[in-house]
């Protein structure tokens, strides 16, 4: 599966370079200012935005940032840090990673890349913690194996050459693996080219969302595609999952795609990402 990253590294890097490499630079800014006392006034809001931690209670943020501001705390890859507020595996892994940047991060993209099935709702908190902790431990071991076998050595090297400020002390090899997975899965979900190993076919999957304002939805999609094109990504085809209940594709969008050389086609039953499922960091 790492061959998918290596074969798509140019498009992953092009995606990460969008906005002047903001994905990389925002992370570096958070790491650089982590030890600053006091934190810059906007540190917490930037942290929440980067790690997609919106819509939590004031108490949750208070306790989360109190833990983040305690470098003496012995952090290990466990989700128990936030247990008083429920089993927040993703947020807890990001908290642990910020203190120990060689630790892996858990989110929807990592879950999908490794085909991990989260614990069901019927399990106790203790059982859920055990499942998530076991996955994080396995993920840490897998990253160590990948680095030892150099399966992603070329892609990691391309990343470091492209982003020279991302030195190992502030942007670990483990974090680069995480960013490469993030970029690959972002490409998959946002209709950028994805080269499948073996047959060399390039596909561009996108499942249309069922939204009340179809025109607004497709204008947003057009803007995303323009961003990709402006940053050197080639998009030759967009494949939509056939969904009779989804809004029809507007004529103006079809005409624009034709003008810029993008083919629109449909495929039965392709993709399983639910409309509106959160997949950002």
Question: Where among 172, 189, 206 does a domain terminate?
Answer: 189
Q: What is the full DSSP assignment across the chain?
A: -HHHHHHTHHHHHHHHTHHHHHHHHHHHHHHHHTT-SSPPTTHHHHHHHHTT--S--HHHHHHHHHHHT-TTS---S-SGGGGGG---HHHHHHHHHHHSTTS----HHHHHHTT--PPPTTS-HHHHHHHHHHHHHHHHHHHHHHHHHTTTHHHHHHHHHH-TT--TTTS-HHHHHHHHHHHHHHHHHTT--EEPTTT--EE-EEPPP--S-HHHHHHHHHHHHHHHHHTT----EEEEEP-TTSPPPPHHHHHHHHHTT-EEEEETT---PPTT-----
Domain check: are 27 and 104 in the same one?
yes
Q: Examine residue 281 and state whether it is found in any structural domain, yes or no.
A: no
Domain check: are 109 and 15 in the same one?
yes
Q: Examine residue 273 and state whether it is found in any structural domain, yes or no.
A: no
Residue 163: domain span: 2-189
Residue 231 pLDDT class (50, 70, 90 cuts): low
pLDDT tens track for 113-161: 887 888 888 888 888 888 888 888 899 999 999 999 999 999 999 999 9
Instruction: Name the least confident of 31-35, 94-98, 102-106, 188-192.
Output: 188-192
pLDDT of residue 71: 57
Q: What is the full DSSP assignment across 101-139?
A: TTS----HHHHHHTT--PPPTTS-HHHHHHHHHHHHHHH
Q: How many CA atoms lie within 13 A of 109 on its CB side?
A: 21
Does the pLDDT at position 88 exceed 50? yes
The model's pTM: 0.69
Domain check: are 151 and 210 in the same one?
no
pLDDT of residue 200: 35
Domain check: are 83 and 137 in the same one?
yes
Domain check: are 205 and 144 in the same one?
no
pLDDT tens track for 174-219: 999 999 999 988 877 654 444 444 333 333 444 333 344 667 777 8
Domain check: are 83 and 25 in the same one?
yes
pLDDT of residue 224: 73
Domain check: are 127 and 247 in the same one?
no
Query: In the β-sheet with 205-206, what is the strand arrangement from edge to edge?
Result: 205-206, 237-241, 263-267
Residue 81 pLDDT class (50, 70, 90 cuts): low
Question: Where among 155, 189, 223 does a domain terminate?
Answer: 189
Domain check: are 102 and 207 in the same one?
no
pLDDT of residue 209: 37
Q: Examine residue 243 and state whether it is found in any structural domain, yes or no.
A: yes
CA 114 to chain CA centroid, nearest Å: 13
List the one residue out of 243, 235, 227 whose CA is nearest residue 191.
235
pLDDT tens track for 13-65: 988 988 888 899 999 999 999 988 789 899 999 999 999 888 888 888 888 88
Domains held by the chain: number: 2
Q: Examine residue 278 and state whether it is found in any structural domain, yes or no.
A: no
Q: Examine residue 9 and state whether it is found in any structural domain, yes or no.
A: yes
Domain check: are 45 and 120 in the same one?
yes
Q: Examine residue 111 and state whether it is found in any structural domain, yes or no.
A: yes
8 Å CB contact between 1 and 177: no
pLDDT tens track for 164-179: 988 888 899 999 999 9
Domain check: are 118 and 87 in the same one?
yes
Domain check: are 185 and 209 in the same one?
no
Q: Examine residue 280 and state whether it is found in any structural domain, yes or no.
A: no
Q: Examine residue 50 and state whether it is found in any structural domain, yes or no.
A: yes
Token match 């399983």: residue? 272
pLDDT tens track for 60-71: 888 888 888 875
pLDDT of residue 48: 93
Higher pLDDT, 126 or 97: 97
Average per-residue pLDDT for the chain: 78
Across 102-111, 170-179, 209-218, 228-237, the highest mean pLDDT is recorded for 170-179
Question: Where among 162, 189, 216 does a domain terminate?
Answer: 189
Domain check: are 152 and 209 in the same one?
no
């Amino acid at each position: 599966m790492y061959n998918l990253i290596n074969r798509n590294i140019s498009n992953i890097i092009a995606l990460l370079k969008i906005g002047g490499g903001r994905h990389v630079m925002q992370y570096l800014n958070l790491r650089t200012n982590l030890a600053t006392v006091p934190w810059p006034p906007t540190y917490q809001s930037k942290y929440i935005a980067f790690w997609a931690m919106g819509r939590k209670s004031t108490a949750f943020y208070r306790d989360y940032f109190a833990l983040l501001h305690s470098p003496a705390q012995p952090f290990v890859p466990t989700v128990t840090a936030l247990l008083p507020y429920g089993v927040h595996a993703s947020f807890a892994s990001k908290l642990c990673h910020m203190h120990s940047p060689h630790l892996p991060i858990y989110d929807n993209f990592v879950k999908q890349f490794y085909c991990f099935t989260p614990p069901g709702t019927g399990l106790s908190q203790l059982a859920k913690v055990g499942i998530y902790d076991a996955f994080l431990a396995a993920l840490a071991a897998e990253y160590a194996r990948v680095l030892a076998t150099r399966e992603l050595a070329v892609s990691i090297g391309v990343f470091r050459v492209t982003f020279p400020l991302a030195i190992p002390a502030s942007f670990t090899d483990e974090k680069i693996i995480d960013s490469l997975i993030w970029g690959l899965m972002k490409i998959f979900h946002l209709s950028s080219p994805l080269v499948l190993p073996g047959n060399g076919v390039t596909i561009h999957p996108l499942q249309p969302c069922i939204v009340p304002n179809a025109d607004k939805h497709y204008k947003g999609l057009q803007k995303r595609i323009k961003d990709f094109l402006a940053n050197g990504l080639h998009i030759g085809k967009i494949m939509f999952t056939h969904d009779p209940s989804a809004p029809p594709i507007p004529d103006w969008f079809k005409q624009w795609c034709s003008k810029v050389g993008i083919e629109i086609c449909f495929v039965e039953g392709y993709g399983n990402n639910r409309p509106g499922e959160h997949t950002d960091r």
